[in-house]
Amino acid sequence: MGMIYTIMRRTAAFVTAALLSVSPLVSNGLARADELKVMASVALKSTLDDLAAKFESASGGKVTMVYGLAAQLKQRVADGEADDVAVLIRPMMEDLLKQGKLAPGSLADVGGTPVAIAIRTGAPKPDIGTVEALKHTLIAAKSISYADPAKGGASGVYFAKVVDQLGLTNELKAKTILVPGAEAPELVANGEAELGVAQGSEIVSLAGAEILGPLPSNLGSVTLFTAGMAAGSKAPDAAKAFVKFITGPDAAPVLKAKGFAPG
């Protein structure tokens, strides 16, 4: 009887230790993950690369990130491309939900980032604090780069409207450098453009460029990114866990450091 009792105690201790070893995952709402395919706006690349690595470490699963312009990724999801999670601009996600491409009740806001102006690190900082100051700075700049609105980049689409509102469309055309995606801050960092317009998160993470500031308050725009699980996900439990993780408290410090206000 004494030997049996000892074995039972050792077995109980082993089970307790095993449960404790997985408790951090349970408390964070994570489960063992299958391989996930996540389609996300390029504005989130630096942030989600970091968070995906943390999720993989905690869950033991594999996350494959697919980045692109939000409008283009939305179309790919709408056309039926297989994925598990999408992280795009809120109105796009709501539209995909209405189309039945996302699981009902799965939308969760990740965070917002402003449309901002980039300058080269250490360069003089012109005034953009008011509409008139911004207008003067744009006219005085030797070159300006932003995402080609025709490609669907959110910051480029928005800034083109701002330029038109300011009555500067024709005046700025000759010195405007349109890029296909999120390359505007890179052109600024490399000295190929004096000013760049992009999501704040795209500027913060890039060496050689810094945020001059968001657009003036009456012209300002904050882009809200939202995550959701694909209706056809083959790993729904892992997909739910990933969405919960990137929108939860453990992700907040990473989001803040990358230029986002957590959702």
pLDDT tens sequence across 209-225: 999 999 998 899 999 99
CATH number of 2-112+224-262: 3.40.190.10
Write down the pLDDT at residue 181: 87
**For residues 195 and 209, what is the distance between their CA atoms, to the nearest angstrom?**
10
**For residues 70 and 133, what is the distance between their CA atoms, to the nearest angstrom?**
30
Residue 97 has pLDDT above 70, yes or no: yes
In the chain, what are the domain boundaries? Answer: 2-112+224-262, 113-222
Q: What is the pLDDT of residues 29-71, one digit of tens each?
A: 444 447 999 999 999 999 999 999 999 999 999 999 999 999 9
**For residues 83 and 177, what is the distance between their CA atoms, to the nearest angstrom?**
33
Write down the pLDDT at residue 174: 97
Write down the pLDDT at residue 17: 37
CATH number of 113-222: 3.40.190.10
Write down the pLDDT at residue 233: 97
The domains spanning 2-112+224-262 and 113-222 adopt the same CATH topology: yes
Question: In whole numbers, what is the pLDDT of the chain averaged over residues?
Answer: 88
Average pLDDT over residues 5-10: 37
| For the chain, counts of helices (H) and of strands (E) | 11, 10
- The label of the residue with tokens 């038109």 reads 164
Write down the pLDDT at residue 78: 97
Write down the pLDDT at residue 152: 85
